Amino acid sequence: MRRSNRRDFCRTLAGGAAGLSLAYRLPNAFGQPVQGAASTISVAKITDTFTLLTGAGSNVLLLTQPEGALLVDGGTAERSADLLKTVADLSGGKPVQALFNTCWHMDNTGSNDTLGKAGIKIVAHENTKLWMSTEFHVQWQNKTYKPRAKEARPNDTFYTTTKMNFGKEEIQYGWLGQANTDGDIFVFFPGPNILVTGDVFTVGKYPVLDWSTGGWMGSYNDTTKQPVGGVAEACYTLAKIGDLQTRVIPGRGPVQSRPDFQAHTDMCTTMAQRFRDMMRKGMSAGDMFRSAPTKDFDAKYGDPQQFIANAYPGMWNHVRELGGIV
């Protein structure tokens, strides 16, 4: 399918589902400056060469090597200057040579403009580049996004999984399918055993199911007892990377252990099954919310309203895959 047709097709699908959860739509959950955000970037050393930076939007992982610096995600545009100054200080003034975008969202790609103009390598899934190259409307936010500047768009894209070396570190990275968006990726550093999940996993919050750009909850296979598609399957994929000692970097929040991430995976698998079963019963988005399907997880993940509201149209976009609904 040609790129323009592919985007039109996605808009048509999303538009058809927009009215299904209109009454339950909440304000923006990403891509806007955070009012009252801290003026400093917090720094947490993980190893001698890896540092977690917070306070710039999304989590940012910094790798420093003798030849330069590498970043996984770049925070918001509003915090980019502070972030890049912190990176320069921590790396001893070494230039940033590569940047990974784990999805297209504005709180992950805010440093693309500055670093792209400097000619650095920006690595992302091809779908992330496509969203950043066109105008599109996110229905659940009621917000239209304009094409990003050519220099800000990823210039090193891929489709499935691949790897590269940066200094002494091997980096493995791959596509997570249609999850938080349809361009989500993981980045794994096997040497120090560090896994970056992007926004498929955020601490203390339900995942954002950005159904307007291909995200959805996923389903559950009653025969294999495994998740199928969506955030649920993305978590299942991530859970097979590394081992029990893997340090997991979520989209937001502190470094997590493998058991922490497994608990998140279990929640997503459970909710994929519950949402599917509710839709097979003919429930509306309002019915689903009133039935409180997340009540045993809310103490840990917070207000579920946006999560449920976005799950419903996202699953309607995959209604044939779910089966037993229409």
Residues 6+ apart with CB under 8 A from 94: 64, 66, 67, 68, 69, 88
DSSP readout, 186-246?
EEEETTTTEEEEETTS-TTSPPP--GGGT----EEETTTTEEESHHHHHHHHHTTSS-TT-
pTM for the whole thing? Answer: 0.88
**Among candidates 36, 34, 78, 86, which has minimal Cα distance to 61?**
86
In CATH, what number does 3-322 get? 3.60.15.10
Give the model's pLDDT for residue 323: 77
Quick one: 159 exposed, middle or buried, by C-beta within 10 A (0-12, 13-18, 19+)?
Answer: exposed
Question: pLDDT digits over 48-87, tens only?
Answer: 999 999 999 999 999 999 999 999 999 999 999 999 999 9
Q: Which residues contact 5 (CB under 8 A, 6 or more apart)?
A: none
Per-residue pLDDT of the chain (326 residues; tens, 9 = 90+): 334 344 443 444 434 343 333 333 333 344 433 333 445 899 999 999 999 999 999 999 999 999 999 999 999 999 999 999 999 999 999 999 999 999 999 999 999 999 999 999 999 999 999 999 999 999 999 999 999 999 999 999 999 999 999 999 999 999 999 999 999 999 999 999 999 999 999 999 999 999 999 999 999 888 998 899 999 999 999 999 999 999 999 999 999 999 999 999 999 999 999 999 999 999 999 999 999 999 999 999 999 999 999 999 999 999 888 877 76
